[in-house]
Structure formats: C-alpha cells, structure tokens
Structure 1
Amino acid sequence: MKIHNPFRTALVATLGVGLGLLIINGAQTLSTVILYIGTALFLSLGLDPLVSFLERRGLPRWAAVLITILAVLSIFAAIVLIVLPVVVDQISQLVSQITPFVIDGQGTIESLKQWMSTTFPNLAVDDVFAYLTNWMASGDWQRSVAAWTESIGQGVLVVGGAVFAGLFGSIIVLVLTIYLTASTPSLKRSVYQLMPASRRERFMDIADQITDSVGHYVMGQVSLGIINGILSAIFLSIIHAPFTAVLAVIAFFFSLIPLVGTLTGSTIIVLACLLPGVGSPGTALAAAIWYLIYMQVEAYFIAPRIMSRAVAVPGAVVVIAALSGGALLGLLGALIAIPVAASFLIIYRQVLIPRMNER
C-alpha cells in the first residue's frame, strides 16, 4: 500500500492510539461506577418478574416496585438482626474467656510454665522463659511490637475504609436499583427505538427473552437459597447444631452461588458442627448425611422445576462463566456471569445459527 502523505497518516494513527488509551483510562477510572450500574441493572432485571406479577394483580407500577423493594429490604434486615446478636454474643464470650488471662498475667505465666514442665519433662523450661524475658526486654521486642501495632492500625484504617466504601456503594446500588426497576418499561422502549424498524420486532423478541431469562434466573436462585435456608434452620435445630441461625444464613447465601454454592456452604456447616465444645462428631455426621440427601433432591427435583423458565446453560459453560466472572469481578462477577452466558446462548441459537444456515 502506497502512503501519499506520511505525516497525515502518522498523525491520524497517533490520534487513534491516543483516543483508544483515553477510552481505556476512562473505563478504568469509571470502573466502580460501571460496576454499580451493572449490579443495579442485574438486580432490577431479577426483581422485574415479581413486579410484573404484582402488576398483573392490578397494582400500579410504582406500588409494585415499592412493595418489592420493601420486601427485599425486610428480608435482609431480618437476616442482619438474626446474625448480628449471635456474632456479638460469641465475641463477648471470647472476651470473657480471655480477660482473666490478661488480668492475671503472672498467674498465667506460672500456669504455662507448670504445664510445659509436666508435658515436656526434658525441656529446660526456666531457661526458655529466661530467654523470652531477656528478648522481651531488648530493643528487638520493642521494635517488633511497634511495627506490629503500626500494622494493626493500618489494617484497622483499611478495614474501616472498606466498610464505609461498601456501605456507600450499597446505598448507590439501592437507589439505582429502585430507579431502574421503576423505569424498566420506558428504558426498554428507548433502547428499542435505536433499532431500524425492519429489525425492531425481532430485536424486541430476543431482548425480552434475555431480560426474562435473567429475571427468572435471579428469582430461581433466590428461591433455592430460601428453601435451603429454611430447611437448614429446621434440621439444624432438630439435631441441636451450634449457631443454628448463623448456619442457616450461610446456607441461604451460599445457595445463591451457582453450581458449587450449596456444596461449599454444606461443607462449612458440617465443619462448624465439629467445633470443640459446641459441636460433636455425631452432629456433624447427621448434618453431612442431610446435605448429601438435600443436594441430590435439589439437583434432580427442586432446581429443574424452579429454573424451568430460565435458559438452560450447559454445565461446562456454567463453570467457565463462573470462573471468568469471579476472576474479573469476584463473587458478584460469578453470580452475574451465568445470566450473561445464558444471554449469549440465546443470541447464538436464535441469531447466529439461523444466519449461518441461510448462507
């Protein structure tokens, strides 16, 4: 190819590369905002089937959206009120057990020396404690304590900042979700108007299938989580498992994760039933048998009926999509990746394959 004006070609190429870099930097800068919008859109599509159900019962759109949002917030508030007192109680128990050792420091050291002398009779316990005492009195110990304290302070600041950012992001996502859920029909019409009139009807059909599939998928996963959480609470109460409410909430949240969520949550619950002092091997065995049976019932009876209106995604695609989404956006990406994969499958089956068959 002959270049008639090298300067102009180089200038256009440089401007093109600069524009591309500018777009990439802008996308990186706005990544958090894009994540908020994507999360809110995903949640609004998930709530749309429930809103549509209420609309078919005669409620106006705004009332259906208000009832749906209040119901979701009530469920999460109830979960927080269930988990928070238990966590506070366990922390207070831990503090109450540690406090006597901190107050009676000398007695604790003497008890430790006596235990070590009994357990390790060949060990020179006095020499070991003398070495530790000299090391603690040296400058190395003081520098280590100072560095450790500084690290703890920085960690507290980082955790506090992350908690504040999480709360701020949750409020933004909530507001966006309410807005998008209330204005879903108008947003759809606006997007549909961008397509040529000759292709608009076909585009509307495929777009409605995609949004309905995402909505049914989200509602299906939530339904599976609720069923697992309720049944776990009942069964764990029967076998007197420790922290029943917390473990039921764990079962609910992990059931929201596709493919491996129920297995992971069940493993955590069984291990929690083995905790010394609060659990027992018999309780853990009973929980393991229960979850093995439940996972089979969920896989072959419950999930197919709940997910019958969502697009069926092959298992290999589910694994690949979940791993890719998790690598990009963490847990949220793993959750969103499955509906996105289902959307691509719809486009593949109803757009790409028919076009290839026409050639």
Structure 2
Amino acid sequence: MSEKAEPESALGEYGPGEGTGAHGAGPGPADGVRTPGAPPQESPPQEPPRRAPGEGRRRSWTRVGFSLGLGATVAWLAVQTVLRVSSMLTLLLLSAFIAIGLEPVVGWFTRRGLRRGWAVAIVLTGFVLLLGGFLALVIPPVAKEITALIDAVPGWLQQLHDHQSAIGRLEDRYHVVEKAKQQIGSGGAATGVAGGVLGAGQLVLSTLTSTAIVITVTLYCMAALPVIKQFCYRFVAASRRERVEGVAEEIMSRIGKFMLGNLITSAIAGAATFGWCVATGVPYAAALGIFTALMDLIPIVGSTLAGIVVSLVALSVSLPIAIATALFYIFFRVAEDYLIVPRAMKFAVDVHPLVTILAVLVGGALLGIIGALVAIPAAVAVGLLLDEYVFPKKQGS
C-alpha cells in the first residue's frame, strides 16, 4: 500500500496536468511555478501612476520661467560688471599689446644669450630714458611759457584801462571786467574755477595712476609672456594644440612687426618735424619733434593732429610760416601714406587700406585713442583667424 501511494503523492504535489512542462515531463518555467534551485523570476513591470491632466506641464513651465529669470539676472550682472571695469580692462589690453609689440626686441636679446629678466630690464630702461628725455625737452618750454603768461598779466590789466589799446576798446564795448566782478560776487565764477581746478587735479592723478598701472602690468607681461602663452595653450585639446599654437604665434609675430614698423614711421615723422622747425625757426623744435613722433603712433589721425599743433605753434613766428608748415604736413602725410608706410609695413602686415580705415574708426569709437592704436593689429588677427578657420581652402593647398 505504501509503494502505490508514492506516485499518487508525487502527482498530487503538482496536481493533474501541472508540473509537466511543455511536454509533460516535469515542471518548467512556462508553468509559472518556481523550480527548486532556480533563480526567482522577476515580477512584471508595474504601470506608473497616472498624473492629473496638466500637472507635468505646470512643473515644466515653472522650471523654464525660473531658468530664464536666473539667466537674465546673471547676464545683467555680467554686463554691469564689465561696464564698471571697462577702463581697467582697456588698460590691461594696452599693456598686453605693448608687451607683445616689444616681444621681438626682448627675443633679440634672449637669442644672444641674455636671460629674459635682463632683456626686459634693458628694454624698460630704454623706455624710461626715452620718456625722461621727452619730459626734459617739454617741461622747460612749458614752464617758460607759463612764466611769460604770468608776467604779461599786469600789462594786460593796464591795457584794460587804456581806451586807445585793442584790449581797452574790447573792454569799453563788452564790459568784461564788470561782468567778471559780478560773477565773482555771485560765486559762479569761483565755483567754476574751483571745479575746473579740481577736475584738472583729478585728470592729472588719473593719468599718473593709469600710466603706473600700464607700466607695471606691461613689465610683468613681458617677463612672464612664455609662461602665460603655455598656460593659455593648455585650455586647447591636444589634437588641435599644435595648430592653435601656430596661429597664435603668427598673430603675435605680426603684432610685433607692426609695432616695429609703426615705430620706424613715427621716428621718421619726428625727425622730419624737427628738421622743418629748425629750418623755419619754429620754436621748441625738439619737443615738437618728439610730440609728432608719439602722435604718429596713432594711425591715420595722429600725424594730422600733430600737424595742426605744430602749425599753431608756427603762428608765433608769422602767418606765412604757419601756412607753409600746414602745407608741409599735407605733403608729408601724402608721402607717409603712399611711400613710407607701405615700405615700412611690407615685411609686417598686409591689410587693405579700407580695412585699415574701418578698423581705426571702429576701434577709436569703442576705446578711444587706445582702440585706434590696437585697431590694425586686431584686424590682422581677425584676418588670420578667418583664413585659418572660416574661409574654405582649395584642394591640395
């Protein structure tokens, strides 16, 4: 009896028709019954709970609105920060431009065995000597003219009471002294003079501070220029780093050559001004020559402004000399644009004259004199970048 009960108990464990698998041979996974020793089966995925209509959309619009508001706030703060430090950024740009422009001179010394620190010190010493020589030439004439003006004031006051003199006739007609007394009594003139003196003092202090910042930053940039370049190159992917380094080095080389070419043309302009002033008897020939050389560093408008100033100084000699000086500068400007500059810049940059004019106008409108000074090198850099990355190249080139 016990032997016959075993099959029934085994069959009864699974039940009729169960545990036979696909062929009735035993339990299988298709039967939904766990086989002893087999891994547990995964439960079927459950459907996610349904959201109310419009719930996900409300959350999405809230997130988008918050992101837009935060982005607009960050952008506004960034623009305000840039505007506040725009003057400082301009000085830093000028310092970097001067450092890159003087790099060929520093490199010339380093290639001859000098350490970079000594090369930078030599270049800085030369700059300080040049600036000191300019001040030594300019300060004595200016002090002399101020002294002469102060000494002439008593004579002008005496002529005010002389009805036969030109100043006296002007006083009789316009009553300048009486109006000046009224202004002084009301406090308007005193306030204007005080404001003018305060403004002049602030301008002098700002100029000295800016000059010190530019010299200091330029010195550090010149000394650490190789390290700065290598640090900037590390932000470029290794696969493109060699190409980017080649383009950057070419841009800096062009800027340095432009700076040297500009210095050559400026030196020629200063020497021509000095020679003309000596030949025609215009005073302060050396100071005017250095002034013209410095102004000629500014493309297009620099030499024109210098010519106007020198022509006004020539009026102290005579009107014909002033007219002749103005004609001399017109002739020199034509010669500089068509003879001197093309030959001096032939080895440096190749920029179309229209691009030059537009770059100087835009740079001057954005950053003033500094923008006009760096406009042409910036145009050269933009041209190189366009040729390298934007304009399609011919096959095989």
Specify the TM-score bucket, using the shorter chain as the normaliser: 0.7 to 0.9
Shift of 1:224: 1.4
Distance 2:363 2:253 in 1: 21
| Matches for 1:319-338 after TM superposition, within 5 Å | 319-338=357-376
* Cα distance in structure 2, aligned partners of 1:316 and 1:190: 36
- The 5-angstrom pairing of residues 32-181 of structure 1 reads 32-102=87-157, 104=158, 108-111=159-162, 113-115=163-165, 141-144=183-186, 146-181=187-222
Separation in structure 2 between the aligned mates of residue 67 and residue 228 of structure 1, nearest angstrom: 25
AA aligned to 1:110 is H
Query: TM-score when scaled to structure 2?
Result: 0.78
Tell me if structure 1 keeps the 8 A contact 2:184–2:190: no
- Paired with 1:118 and 1:11, the residues of 2 have a C-alpha distance of 75
**Counterpart Cα distance in 2 of 1:344 and 1:132:** 57
Report Cα offsets for 1:100-126 as digits up to 9, x if no partner.
344x5xxx3431x24479979xxxx6x
How high is the TM-score relative to the length of structure 1?
A: 0.85
Separation of aligned partners in 2, 1:258 and 1:38:
18
5+ residue gaps in structure 1? none
Once the two structures are superposed, residues 37-94 of structure 1 have per-residue CA deviations (whole angstroms, 9 ceiling, x without a partner) of 1111011011101111111222111111110111111111111110111111011111
- 1:290 Cα shift? 3.8
Considering only aligned residues, what root-mean-square deviation do their CA atoms show, in Å? 2.8
CA separation of 1:223/1:116 partners in 2, compared to 1, >3 Å: closer, same or farther? Answer: closer
Match of 1:184 in 2: 225
Structure showing greater radius of gyration is: 2
Question: Is contact 1:239-1:286 (8 Å) kept?
Answer: no
The 8 Å contact of residues 156 and 167 in structure 2, kept in 1 or not, is answered as no
Equivalent position amino acid for 1:16 in 2 = G
Q: CA deviation at 1:328?
A: 1.6
Q: Does 1:7 align with 2:62?
A: yes
Overall identity of the aligned pairs, in %: 27
Call closer, same or farther: CA 1:143–1:7 in 2, change over 3 Å.
Answer: farther
1:249-295 Cα deviation digits (max 9, x unpaired): 2311221111232233223323431x2xx312443354345434433
Secondary structure, aligned partner of 2:102: helix
Q: How far apart in 2 are the matches of 1:202 and 1:33?
A: 32
Equivalent of 1:209 in 229, 234, 250 = 250
* Bigger shift: residues 80-89 or 349-358: 349-358
Residue 98 of structure 1: how far off its partner (Å): 1.4
Q: CA 1:288 to 1:134, structure 2 compared with 1: closer, same or farther past 3 Å?
A: closer
Aligned equivalent of 1:195: 236
- CA shift for structure 1 position 26: 1.4
Structure 2: give runs of 5+ residues left out of the alignment. 1-56
Identify the match of residue 304 of structure 1 among 342, 355, 358.
342
In the TM superposition, what are the counterparts of 1:18-33 in structure 2 within 5 Å?
18-33=73-88
- Deviation (angstroms), 1:200: 0.9
